[in-house]
């Protein structure tokens, strides 16, 4: 997704702009470590922490549990900001 700018209406101080962006977080690890013996056991890792810099293969591995990022629950949050401010006039006393 990315940044989207949508003019919504014009007020006396200027146009009102709506900005939306998606924030993705990876939460608890869901890898079943006991699947090969027919059981169910997770390691308790509560949040993905990249083991390396962005753009490397280690960026997809969790530093806490050593699992791939795809084993962690993906949470997407859409953040919306509305701005109706003008760049020119301000009333200060």
Which residues, in sequence order, are bridge partners of residue 44? none
pLDDT tens for the chain, 93 residues: list them: 455 555 555 555 567 778 888 999 999 999 999 999 999 999 899 999 999 999 999 999 999 999 999 999 999 999 888 876 655 444 554
**What gap in Å lies between CA 27 and CA 55, rounded to an integer?**
20
Record the pTM: 0.62
Short-list 86, 46, 49, CA closest to 66: 49
Distances (CA, A) of 91 to 33, 65, 83, 86: 62, 54, 18, 11
Cβ–Cβ < 8 Å for 72, 30: yes
């Amino acid at each position: 997704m990315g940044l989207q700018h949508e003019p919504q209406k014009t007020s006396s101080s200027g146009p009102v702009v709506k900005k939306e962006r998606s924030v993705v977080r990876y939460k608890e690890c869901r890898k079943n470590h006991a699947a090969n013996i027919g059981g169910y056991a997770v390691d308790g890792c509560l949040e993905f922490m990249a083991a390396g810099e962005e753009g490397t293969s280690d960026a997809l591995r969790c530093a806490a549990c050593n699992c791939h990022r795809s084993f962690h629950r993906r949470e997407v949050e859409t953040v919306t900001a509305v701005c109706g401010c003008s760049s020119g006039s301000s009333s200060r006393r």
